[in-house]
Amino acid sequence: METIAVNPTEQHRLPTVRPAILYRDRYCTFPYLVNNKLAGMYVTGPAKYGNVHHITPMDFLVRHRPQVDPNHPLNLFTLDRGRHNILHREWVNRYGKNPELIRHVVKNGGKAGWVDEYDDALASIALIRSYDLIMVEPQYFTEYQDDIIGLRPFVDGNFEDRYRFFEKQSF
């Protein structure tokens, strides 16, 4: 299992995860939400130039939900560098630069130290994209296929309709 540190240059990555997510996502995208409803999609470039983002940060999962695989395709999403940095810097906006407070509230307390308002939308899009991919190319995400297929019926139909509409407009 890979590990994560506050400094991204200290992270150890599994070499097979990133290429599969970049292939699945094709483009760096970011949902535009209004009142927690999908109102559009920003497309900022080909996925090969993006950052693969853990929707729920790896460090949080390792500490507070060790039974969850942080590199599950449903926890990964391709973002452009700017939006990726915005999501990861949010803990500074929420908790300041006080390391003791961050350690107490986020690391030990289990509270989100990231912009979690996007988590549901990002995870839903990752599920839709992963399912679509394994339906046409079953060699992808073989160890996760049962999870992806099992969770697929739980995607909100209205969300998926809006996602498909904005996806067609974007590509």
| pLDDT over threshold 90, residue 15 | no
Q: How many CB atoms lie within 10 A of CB 102?
A: 20
Give the largest CA-CA distance in the chain.
48
State the DSSP code for 48. Answer: G
For residue 159, the model assigns a pLDDT of 96
Tell me if 2 is assigned to some domain. Answer: no
Tell me if 73 is assigned to some domain. Answer: yes
For residue 14, the model assigns a pLDDT of 60
Q: Where are the alpha helices (DSSP H) in 65-156?
A: 81-95, 99-102, 119-136, 145-151
Residue that wins the pLDDT comparison between 134 and 69: 134
**Structural domain count of the chain:** 1
The parent domain of residue 52 ranges over: 8-170
Give the position of tokens 């391709």: 78
Tell me if 122 is assigned to some domain. Answer: yes
pTM, to two decimals: 0.83
**What pLDDT digit, counting tens, does each position of 53-62 carry?**
889 887 777 7
| CA pair distance 76, 19, nearest whole angstrom | 12
Tell me if 1 is assigned to some domain. Answer: no
User: Exposed, middle or buried by CB within 10 Å (0-12, 13-18, 19+), for 33?
Assistant: middle
Tell me if 96 is assigned to some domain. Answer: yes
Tell me if 3 is assigned to some domain. Answer: no
Give strand ranges (E) for 7-105.
Answer: 27-34, 37-46, 51-54, 76-79
Tell me if 165 is assigned to some domain. Answer: yes
**What pLDDT digit, counting tens, does each position of 97-133 carry?**
777 777 777 767 777 767 788 899 999 999 999 999 9
